[in-house]
Chain A
Amino acid sequence: MKAAFRKMNESIRPTPGLEDQVFEKIAVKHAARFRPLAAVAAMLVVVMLATPAMAASIPAVSDWLYQVSPEMAERFTPIQESCTKNGIKMEVVSASIHGATSEVVVSFEDLEGNRIGSGTREDYEFRNYNIFKDNGSGQSVKGLSDDKTGYDPETGKKTMLVETNYHGVTVSDLFGSKMTIVVDEICNYLDSVSYEVPIVLTDNAVMTAKPDRSQPTDRPVEVPFDGFGYGSATRNDPWLTKEVYELLTPGEVKHQITEEVAVMGMAYIDGRLHVQTRQRDADADTFSGYQIYLVESNGEKLCAAVFNTFTIDEGDDRGDYMEGIFDIPEEELENYTLMADVEYKETIKGPWKVTFTFTESDYVGEHDDGIPMETAIG
């Protein structure tokens, strides 16, 4: 088993340039903000992919390909291999090899309803891999850029272009090689629901916490927590450099927002408002996530300066806690409304799996940069 794990991990390596990015962040004192911003950016991309305006402009697979690129459309040859599961049909429509890249057009169609394209956005849990005739070589996968995904509202068909870049593989390796495309599940994200949460300060005791167990401290620590999130704060926020932190001690549920999310405490510590929430008993197939924030009377949204997360085993389940810390003086709190946005999703389980063979007719002859086809690609 150890050998199998070693072999599996051999091809997983840090992205080139990652080390430089760390040094860049060190050099730039105003270091990058944390995950929420990145998450928002990622979500925007996905939302853009599913935007109805774009979808409406894409009538059919062939026309869609021509809209993406007439040259691209001409170089594809039909495959038409499909797999249907749970009423969803995945079809590998056509394929092409050019230069160091293979391109495969994949479509999804709901044969029983309109689950495809009905949510605010969708995630397709994709995997694809090649099996070569004589050798197995590494490859990197890219795909799904915002101009290469389409949706036809009339047929309910979603079409994607899957691009695979190869390294250290020759053209002859690709001819006759098999590619398997697997989609494990499709998640349809639904509109998030906003809840107003009563602002009622609670009398939770204060507990001490520390971010990892390696930090020595003279003070007793009740909970090790997983880490910080940076909301409106930066990494230079003094709160983030302490050895020991003070958080609210979880107790009874103070306010149940939804079946899964509850307010566990709301109190001031060192002049900052702490709002502690707990997620529990969430169905991973239907519950997507939530966020809490304040809204000022003028409508301006205020995210937590800092939030952190910790987990507590609670009988047969566990509570995933999040404590948002807001820079709002208590005397100004009456000007704010506390909101929670909760998002759900529909998960359609696969897997959908199609294996097909690249043939010489899929090859268009030249690299994009004009390098002759005989040249080894990669």
Chain B
Amino acid sequence: MEQTRQCTPAELGHVMDKYGTMVYRLAFSQLRSHSDADDIYQEVFLRYYQKRPQFESEEHRRAWLLRVTINRAKSYVTSAWFRHTVSLEDCHAFPEPESQSLDEAMAALPAKDRMLLHLYYYEELSVRDIAQLTGKKESTLRTQLTRARRKLGTILKGEDDYESCISENE
């Protein structure tokens, strides 16, 4: 468990250097907006600075940051005035068409599925790790993961380059 202690700006800078991209990408995967991901990024690290947690290991620190990012993103999504639309300024243009296609497919999934797929495929967490992060049962997550993969596959169906890409990397 983490305890609290003094956190210096230099330490915070180090943590942001190391985990900033991870936090940002997870937030972006959930909110699909650069400005919202910016907000979440700031909140997560401000919270880190204010809480000044101390961890037993880097894995524990990483898990804390992932969990807080998930919670903050969920709070955004469920807040009263959150809008499921992204302004043009917030659009992200992917350099590769296949990434654009995958992003479009991900965008069509519910936020909880996007979170699960992002943690599983991008952060490469195990279902057990995700269960600990989210407080959900492993069996529930496995079912959800299966459904999310199926939905993603259905959306991507017909895009030959992705079909081959998925099968190669499974």
Contacts and interface: CB of A to CB of B under 8 A. Distances in A.
Interface stretch (A70-78, A287-295, A366-374): A287-295
Given A1-B166, A8-B99, A211-B71, A309 B78 contact: yes
Given A12-B28, A144-B89, A226-B74, A214 B1 contact: yes
B75 interface: yes
Contacts of B20: 14, 18-19
Interface size grouping (class) on chain A: 35 or more
Interface stretch (A33-41, A195-203, A357-365): A33-41
B5 interface: no
Interface string B74-87: 11101111111111
Given A14-B41, A127-B91, A143-B89, A35 B67 contact: no
A20 to B, nearest CB: 10
Interface residues of B, number: 72
Given A14-B20, A126-B86, A214-B2, A309 B99 contact: no
Contacts of A227: 71-72, 74-75
B143 interface: no
Interface string B102-129: 1110110000000001100110100000
B76 A7 contact: no
A162 interface: yes
B79 A212 contact: no
Contacts of A137: 95
Nearest to A166: B93
Contact of B169 (A2, A144, A212, A279): A2
Interface string A218-257: 0000001011110000010000000000000000000000
User: In this complex, which of B25, B87, B106 has the most chain A Cβ atoms within 10 angstroms of its Cβ?
Assistant: B87
A7 B88 contact: no
Interface in B49-76: 49-50, 53, 64, 67-68, 71-72, 74-76
A140 B166 CA distance: 27
A139 B75 contact: no
Given A4-B166, A35-B76, A214-B67, A126 B121 contact: no
Nearest to B162: A4
Interface string A106-134: 00000000000000000111111111000
Given A15-B38, A126-B86, A129-B94, A5 B24 contact: no
A19 B24 CA distance: 11
Contact of B79 (A5, A21, A22, A322): A322
A271 interface: no
A289 B95 contact: no
B160 interface: no
Contacts, number: 196
B139 interface: no
A85 interface: no
User: In this complex, which of A12, A26, A211, A309 has the most chain B Cβ atoms within 10 angstroms of its Cβ?
Assistant: A12
Contacts of B89: 141-144
B91 A126 contact: yes
B75 A229 contact: yes
A229 B43 CA distance: 11
Nearest to A26: B49
B38 A3 contact: no
A129 B101 CA distance: 11
User: In this complex, which of B68, B76, B92 has the most chain A Cβ atoms within 10 angstroms of its Cβ?
Assistant: B92
Contact of A1 (B50, B53, B103, B169): B169
A207 interface: no
Contacts of A320: 78
Contacts of A172: none
Nearest to B45: A22
A166 B168 CA distance: 32
B121 A1 contact: yes
A37 B130 CA distance: 33
Contact of A11 (B2, B46, B91, B94): B94
B42 interface: yes
A137 B78 CA distance: 35
A123 B87 contact: yes
Given A6-B122, A25-B42, 8 more contacts: A1-B169, A12-B24, A12-B92, A19-B13, A35-B76, A36-B81, A129-B100, A141-B92
3 closest cross-chain pairs (CB), A and B: A227-B75, A226-B75, A123-B85
Interface of B: 1-2, 9, 12-13, 16-17, 20-21, 24-25, 28-29, 34-35, 37-39, 41-42, 45-46, 49-50, 53, 64, 67-68, 71-72, 74-76, 78-89, 91-100, 102-104, 106-107, 117-118, 121-122, 124, 135, 162, 165-166, 168-170
Interface of A: 1-9, 11-15, 18-19, 21-23, 25-26, 31, 35-36, 38-39, 42-43, 46, 123-131, 136-144, 160, 162, 164, 182, 184-185, 187, 211-214, 216, 224, 226-229, 235, 279, 284, 288-291, 308-309, 311, 320, 322
